Amino acid sequence: MRSIAIIPARYASTRFPAKPLVKLGDKYIIQHVYERVAECVEMTYVATDDERIYNAVKSFGGNVVMTSSEHRCGTDRCCEALENIGYDADIVINIQGDEPFVQREHIELLKSSFDSKETDIVTLAVPFSVEGGLEALENPNSPKVVIDESSHALYFSRSVIPYIRGVERTEWLNHHTFYKHIGMYAFRPNVLKEITSLPQTPLEKLESLEQLRWIESGYKVKIGISSHETIGIDTPEDLERAEQYIKNIK
């Protein structure tokens, strides 16, 4: 099947302005993401609303397309980018522009889920580790997902789910495998167009998680379980962690 990867990137991030153009090592963050994704997907584009990001991507030889500044989220930006590019894809992969350590396994997991004709939307999760402790599990910036026996999402939440009754909270990680949502997605093009035309739903507004809109609207979201954690860069503190990670793997 023909795949296209679109990397939404905006300049005006509340927690970390100009994030895509911050240097990690000797490259822009957006360049790290682009080059890793382009190794795995035959057609890769950055979608942005900012000329500074546009020019930076052009400077390292990447494909880039301008999109509106009015989009609510990266998924909406991906939908417009796909229309502007005009590529006839079977699968549209959405990798956030702050995932410089995205791995081939992540992208292959997204792709392989479409071997089933019933799959319309796929995203990823990774088990929380016991070593990471309760603090990591309770972090509201790390959304959790509960999965059914068919590997579809039952619910996403910034709270810890499920609640384990009768067990001390400090022991929860020893009694159950909790899953952290990784914000990478893949869609069939017609489904991408459908979900971006939906109005925001009550649960989405409450948790500020767009994937809840899809579930509330009746779509099934397939979950691929990865064995590899990511280091998404949402804050300057995350950048420090990423810089340390690069030093450790050299």
Query: Residues 44-70: pLDDT tens digits?
Result: 999 999 999 999 999 999 999 999 988
Cβ–Cβ < 8 Å for 67, 77: yes
Query: Residues 165-187: pLDDT tens digits?
Result: 999 999 999 999 999 999 999 99
CA separation for the pair 239, 139 (Å, rounded) = 18
Domain CATH number, residue 226: 3.90.550.10
pTM: 0.93
Q: What is the mean pLDDT of residues 237-250?
A: 79
Which pLDDT score is estimated for 191?
Answer: 98
Backbone angles phi, psi at 79, to 5 degrees: -65, -45
**Alpha-carbon torsion 233, 237, 240, 241, what sign?**
negative
**Strand ranges inside 61-218, DSSP E:** 64-66, 91-95, 121-127, 144-147, 153-157, 179-187
In this predicted structure, the answer to whether residue 250 has a pLDDT above a threshold of 60 is no
In this predicted structure, the answer to whether residue 162 has a pLDDT above a threshold of 70 is yes
Domain that holds residue 226: 3-249
CA distances from 225 to 22, 38, 103, 137, 202 (A): 30, 22, 13, 17, 27
Which pLDDT score is estimated for 237?
Answer: 84
Cβ–Cβ < 8 Å for 130, 174: yes
Task: Report the number of distinct structural domains present in the chain.
Answer: 1
